[in-house]
Homo-oligomer: A and B are copies of this chain.
Amino acid sequence: MNTVGRLFRVTTFGESHGPAIGCVIDGCPPGLALAPDDFDTDLARRATGRSRYTSQRREADEVEILSGVYEGRSTGTPIALLIRNVDPRSKDYGAIADQFRPAHADYAYWHKYGIRDPRGGGRSSARETTMRVAAGVVAKKWLAQRGVSVRGFLSQLGDIRPRGFDRDVIETNPFFWPCAEQVPELEEYMKVLHKSGDSVGARVDVVAEGVPPGWGEPVYGKLDAELAAALMGINAVKGVEIGDGFAVAAMKGTENRDEITAEGFLSNHAGGILGGISSGQPIRCSIALKPTSSIRLPGRSLDTSGAPVDVVTTGRHDPCVGIRATPIAEAMVALVLIDQALRHRAQCGDVGTVAPRVPGGAFPP
């Protein structure tokens, strides 16, 4: 099950330290302009080695389009994308080839398959998410032509939360942080963290604007359900919220409901989704990412023979995987949206274009 989507189907393959990673996008509408450099921006946003706060593995991440594009346009046939792995340092992993790193997938893969590729985490490595981002670029292009944008930002780093919100600031700092004045504080926090050898969790918010009402398939292919799956399936994610999320548990009905007037919705507690279907308001979702599991501080574990070991993870790792998760989360949201758009078009005849007036839909919500 390495495929996501029902009509815009993305199948990824590849291991962290294998010869290549790649994906096949099946079901892309024909006629979409597509070139190798379309992928540059988002892959760079996701890439390691981009600042001292992320892993120092250098990923060139040059995308080769192997099929499905003719004279610069998608033909409707499968689009295969390939990226060669150029800087694996598998020797970093020799020491842990037979150990189960705590909080890693090692233990589970081993018990499931009876065999695993230990080099860099193999298939369970976040390296695989590169192809999600690449596929997401194709989805975003199609969505953008219909006025739909998908943007994310970091909304929590450890226990630090934004003190303000300026969407123009997000892409100007390596943290995808929406409040400029806090950036020095974050830099200092990360420096201390890195020195300590420990790691920290984070929270990412994603907002999709311009989605017309009507996308989403009740009852088991609901838009929020599929967003939840797509986002929870990102490495390290342990929680997903739509709209107000867990805060609703303590809310009253009169507080939580989004009243509607002729000028539009008066609020957006629902996060743009009602009954599993988009309402025309901005889609808001949030994810929580656990702290990086690969840390230098030793932890108790077992090796494959069952003997106790103290695991120390060397290699190049982000002290906070959540930071780079921002473009990945955007990509997953975009993949869900295009898929739902095509499903809606199949059943109902068009993708829907007229979003209602949404005064309650300011960014961020």
Contact of A11 among B26, B30, B106 (CB under 8 A): B26
Given known A64-B19, A201-B248, contact A76–B289 (CB-CB < 8 A): no
Q: How far is the CB of A198 from chain B (nearest CB, A)?
A: 5
Given known A105-B274, A242-B239, A248-B238, contact A262–B308 (CB-CB < 8 A): yes
A100 CB contacts on chain B under 8 angstroms: 260
Q: Once the chains bind, are A70 and B122 in contact (CB under 8 Å)? A: yes
Contact of A214 among B102, B108, B117 (CB under 8 A): B108
Chain B CB within 8 A of A2 CB: yes
Q: Once the chains bind, are B123 and A246 in contact (CB under 8 Å)? A: no
Q: Once the chains bind, are B30 and A347 in contact (CB under 8 Å)? A: yes
Chain B CB within 8 A of A111 CB: yes
Given known A24-B24, A248-B290, A276-B105, contact A214–B346 (CB-CB < 8 A): no
A344 CB contacts on chain B under 8 angstroms: 112
Stretch at the interface among A52-60, A164-172, A173-181, A296-304: A296-304
Q: How far is the CB of A109 from chain B (nearest CB, A)?
A: 6
A352 CB contacts on chain B under 8 angstroms: 111-112
Q: How far is the CB of A165 from chain B (nearest CB, A)?
A: 18
Given known A2-B220, A14-B66, A253-B291, contact A103–B238 (CB-CB < 8 A): no
Q: Once the chains bind, are A238 and B245 in contact (CB under 8 Å)? A: yes
Q: How far is the CB of A199 from chain B (nearest CB, A)?
A: 4
Chain B CB within 8 A of A95 CB: no
Residues of chain A in range 49-87 having any CB-CB distance to chain B below 8 Å: 64, 66-68, 70, 73, 75-80, 82
Instruction: For the complex, give the distance between the alpha carbons of A109 and B215 in Å.
Output: 10
A12 CB contacts on chain B under 8 angstroms: 78, 219-220
Contact of A346 among B275, B291, B345 (CB under 8 A): B345
Given known A20-B66, A248-B239, A253-B200, contact A1–B104 (CB-CB < 8 A): no
Chain B CB within 8 A of A213 CB: yes
Instruction: For the complex, give the distance between the alpha carbons of A276 and B123 in Å.
Output: 12
Chain B CB within 8 A of A337 CB: no
Instruction: For the complex, give the distance between the alpha carbons of A6 and B200 in Å.
Output: 36
Give the dominant DSSP class at A's interface: mixed
Given known A13-B78, A343-B346, contact A249–B202 (CB-CB < 8 A): yes
Q: Once the chains bind, are B233 and A231 in contact (CB under 8 Å)? A: no
Chain B CB within 8 A of A280 CB: yes
Instruction: For the complex, give the distance between the alpha carbons of A280 and B111 in Å.
Output: 9
- Cβ-closest chain B residue relative to A252: B198
Q: Once the chains bind, are B347 and A124 in contact (CB under 8 Å)? A: no
Q: Once the chains bind, are A256 and B216 in contact (CB under 8 Å)? A: no
Contact of A1 among B112, B221, B246 (CB under 8 A): B221
Given known A2-B26, A29-B347, A219-B233, contact A289–B158 (CB-CB < 8 A): no
Among all A-B residue pairs, the 9 with the closest Cβ atoms:
A105-B275, A1-B221, A108-B277, A225-B233, A199-B253, A228-B232, A111-B213, A346-B346, A229-B229
Can you name 13 A-B pairs with beta carbons within 8 Å?
A1-B218, A2-B26, A3-B3, A7-B346, A14-B67, A70-B116, A75-B113, A75-B123, A108-B278, A198-B253, A246-B246, A255-B291, A262-B306
Besides A75-B116, A248-B291, 19 other CB < 8 A contacts? A3-B11, A6-B6, A11-B78, A12-B78, A12-B219, A12-B220, A24-B24, A75-B123, A104-B275, A105-B277, A201-B256, A202-B249, A220-B233, A228-B232, A232-B240, A235-B275, A238-B243, A247-B288, A261-B300
